Structure 1
């Protein structure tokens, strides 16, 4: 039965096997001589050619239809033809070998059978005349229909994710729609392989040992598969050079090309959603920072206006407001950019923690590496508990990945917002002094917790204090004896107890005693004298605070 060329099969993926199922091909008594295991390969186009040098006309993926007039005379010529189309990446070859009487060309068939031995290229023999124009017409209608269907699917995918972006959809909603479009589970993870959102019926099976499994799948800078035990299709999420995660499909897919298109658009939508969220938060940060700056430096902003503006930024009304400052520890050789990035990360973490605790606060950058917080408190007796809870939540938010690298200073609460903002200066000073402590056994510090360091910090601008410290440490400072100063500081920190210092393993006992004797001679005072040790301790603290 003939196939009506005006009626194309339903759009779909065209393969070599699908072409062989055409009625027109079947009338030629097709016989697969080679490559039977590759009949499922996709056909990009169907090309009719009778030239022996057809390879230069191909781009790859074509199914070649030929009568073999240019090479059927010998097995060698037939072999060269097959070599040529194989090298060009053809999907297969259909060869009609019929003589002038429309009978099978037995000699040419023998040559072809000899030439296909050992080949895996699909080679199909036709021993009856076939109208190739009918074959190409039907095949090309299928291919064009498939291309139109792909365009329509691409348009639909584009519209879906554009609408999600316009609606400021959440990450979870974007992941849900992606999974529905792909009809497969989808997972969004961050760079530490923590699952941010997922969609799948069997959540237990999907996420079991996720971190361990995900670590075995390397990141790609483009959509694709990495290979390996977990051969997931993935796409990066985030701006190039600043990736913050990836979207993965940890299950089988029917068509990687179509799935890749959906996954890429989903990744773009997630990137835009995160950027839009950052823009919104950035405006809030700027507004809060501007208000705190005015509260600290403006002499015209009244309490009523301050409270109104703060309430508009989400700050709850309260009887008291507590000034708190978080100051990041300085890392050796850290440049200003690195400190700024850490400050921004702490700002975002702090904002999230306050929100999850269902509290409100005004947060703003202070000096470089410091964040000022105005925290509403319902009663003064609840201050310590609120700050401790905030610090604990902030530490827990890091999930044990990193110890807190900040010090926290707290100033007295005030009933007025303007007064509380003025107290941020004291909180900054407390946090700076707390940052000089070797150990911090409490989550936050008030001025009274700093004792001698707090007093000396208040006096460090007095030139008489600087003169005193310089005179006491002159034998060490004049010769830049950093090792001697370090030894003196350790000795004083252990209360002048040589045995206790030796037990720390800083130096062997004989070496330590010898070094201390030289240090004593250099300073010209007795290290066994309590008053001398006190004077030296004050001088060392002053020197460190002034550095």
Structure 2
């Protein structure tokens, strides 16, 4: 869903008011505060009273003939000081009978205060100026209200339609015409939107921008806080917005409202966006859709140390991403956690090059398995990569290893961290699983056990072969007695027409079962 919005009319500044055709007819001359002419004008007010300052609320351009100030320099000076205290935008003095020339007292005070002071050398009907400026300001005010409602409606429509976070940010980027970045409170990037090259430029310089994001706004950097119920949990940034600042602030505020609503309606936890950010990064890296070099700024902005590091690619089966992230924090290792596929979660560690990668990976695996319900989790690893461009291949290798042992992991005597050299025949069969000859071989060898009612026997066969035909271990893992196991093994041999005590026949069945499991996965 998209909505085309009319551009908001630019805010009027003192300089722009002075350049209006009607004002130019009065031959305006700036006699003080020339460096402050870009101040915004909120309203135009005609006032002759000496104490006009008490009636102002800031941002007004005051038009006067000074008729009540003539002949009293103290009143003239105080008049300017009161306007300065009220934060008026400027004072415009029409020259005439009261003041044929610019009064020095007013000019000196205005210059000291930095208040723009303008004199009109030709008679000028103030009513015409107030009418034109007020009409422009009113039009702009209503346009701002219309813009605000249009943005809110568009974003709420996306939320109602079930659009993901990225969909909302893409819409905000389209309206703002600049990169949009969502961060957590630690300035780690959770999501981005906008033209890819512009976003990459922002992320390459993210360390500086992150510091700026926590300070004052300026030069088109506009932010809005994300949070609710008295708690902040992030911010949204418009990076280098080139339009009107008020428009940018409006867009940022509407976007922040929509993101908070999106998270509330989606039941998202505090870490969900962090998980989505890591998942998008690692999925893009593994798939190769985006060149690895282009993903480096995203990794750095997401908080992963990348300079002079060793990257250890891990893939874990049997543990959810939230649990893995918690264990990673427990052992104090920097890294990213993301689910690559159902049941397969990547953990990319970033270590100093003098750290023992194998020992730290083993420590992570041991801490994971010490969790009460994660004793059977499989932790697969590839060798450390010192070049970022090689990380994707490492993640693919680790996933291959994890998938190769996943079905029979409890029956196998596996090390704490499984590597390619540990999967042997399983790894080869998994690589060949899609070959038609391998598929037909598996079906032919296992034909007697492939019906839905035979899955229990197939599981017993899988464990028996994975344990090296160890009957005691198989009975223990299936919680059956030895006689009951013998009866099941006899049934398996009858169904398949094989003798499992014969090494060659058992090996053939084992290879077929490995191929079948790889194909099913």
TM-score, length-scaled by structure 2: 0.51
Of 121, 140, 145 in structure 1, the residue corresponding to residue 115 of structure 2 is 121
Q: Distance in 2 between matches of 1:52 and 1:370?
A: 80
Three-state SS of the structure 1 residue aligned to 2:91 is strand
Of 265, 269, 272 in structure 1, the residue corresponding to residue 254 of structure 2 is 265
Three-state SS of the structure 2 residue aligned to 1:106 is coil
2:13 aligned with 1:15, yes or no?
A: yes
Partner of 2:38: 40
Structure 2 counterparts to residues 352-501 of structure 1, below 5 A: 352=339, 355=342, 357=344, 371=373, 382-384=408-410
Of 74, 88, 91 in structure 1, the residue corresponding to residue 89 of structure 2 is 91
Partner of 1:64: 62
Superposed CA deviations along residues 396-437 of structure 1, whole A, max 9, x for unmatched, are: xxxxxxxxxxxxxxxxxx966xx99xxxxxxxxxxxxxxxxx
The number of equivalent residue pairs is 321
Q: Distance in 1 between matches of 2:239 and 2:147?
A: 22
Of 205, 216, 223 in structure 2, the residue corresponding to residue 226 of structure 1 is 216
Three-state SS of the structure 2 residue aligned to 1:160 is helix
Conserved? CA contact 1:73–1:111, under 8 Å: no
Partner of 1:216: 211
Partner of 1:423: none
Cα separation, partners in 2 of 1:11 and 1:184, compared to 1, 3 Å: closer
Q: How far 1:22 sits from its partner (Å)?
A: 3.2
Conserved? CA contact 1:34–1:121, under 8 Å: yes
Q: How far 1:131 sits from its partner (Å)?
A: 1.1
Partner of 2:235: 246
Three-state SS of the structure 1 residue aligned to 2:196 is coil
Conserved? CA contact 2:172–2:180, under 8 Å: yes
2:148 aligned with 1:148, yes or no?
A: no
Conserved? CA contact 1:46–1:65, under 8 Å: yes
Cα separation, partners in 2 of 1:154 and 1:97, compared to 1, 3 Å: same
Q: How far 1:21 sits from its partner (Å)?
A: 2.6
Three-state SS of the structure 1 residue aligned to 2:267 is helix
Partner of 2:171: 177
Conserved? CA contact 2:107–2:117, under 8 Å: no
Q: How far 1:234 sits from its partner (Å)?
A: 2.2
Q: Distance in 2 between matches of 1:71 and 1:351?
A: 73
Cα separation, partners in 2 of 1:209 and 1:16, compared to 1, 3 Å: closer
Q: How far 1:72 sits from its partner (Å)?
A: 2.0
Conserved? CA contact 2:213–2:223, under 8 Å: no
Q: How far 1:119 sits from its partner (Å)?
A: 4.3
Q: How far 1:267 sits from its partner (Å)?
A: 2.5
Three-state SS of the structure 2 residue aligned to 1:86 is helix
Superposed CA deviations along residues 252-299 of structure 1, whole A, max 9, x for unmatched, are: 44333322222222223233333344369xxxxxxxxxxxxxxxxxxx
Structure 2 counterparts to residues 331-350 of structure 1, below 5 A: none
Q: How far 1:215 sits from its partner (Å)?
A: 5.0
Q: How far 1:169 sits from its partner (Å)?
A: 1.4
Q: Distance in 2 between matches of 1:169 and 1:86?
A: 49
Backbone CA RMSD of aligned residues: 4.9
2:154 aligned with 1:160, yes or no?
A: yes
Superposed CA deviations along residues 286-341 of structure 1, whole A, max 9, x for unmatched, are: xxxxxxxxxxxxxxxxxxxxxxxxxxxxxxxxxxxxx9799x99xxxxxxxxx9xx
Q: Distance in 2 between matches of 1:227 and 1:57?
A: 30
Superposed CA deviations along residues 179-200 of structure 1, whole A, max 9, x for unmatched, are: 1111111112334544332133
Cα separation, partners in 2 of 1:157 and 1:34, compared to 1, 3 Å: same
Q: Distance in 2 between matches of 1:114 and 1:123?
A: 10
Q: Distance in 1 between matches of 2:256 and 2:212?
A: 18
Three-state SS of the structure 2 residue aligned to 1:268 is helix
Three-state SS of the structure 2 residue aligned to 1:47 is strand
Cα separation, partners in 2 of 1:56 and 1:372, compared to 1, 3 Å: same
Cα separation, partners in 2 of 1:381 and 1:21, compared to 1, 3 Å: closer
Three-state SS of the structure 2 residue aligned to 1:248 is strand
Conserved? CA contact 1:72–1:111, under 8 Å: no
Cα separation, partners in 2 of 1:84 and 1:240, compared to 1, 3 Å: same
Conserved? CA contact 1:76–1:115, under 8 Å: no
Q: Distance in 1 between matches of 2:222 and 2:162?
A: 26
Of 200, 205, 211 in structure 1, the residue corresponding to residue 201 of structure 2 is 205
Three-state SS of the structure 1 residue aligned to 2:225 is strand
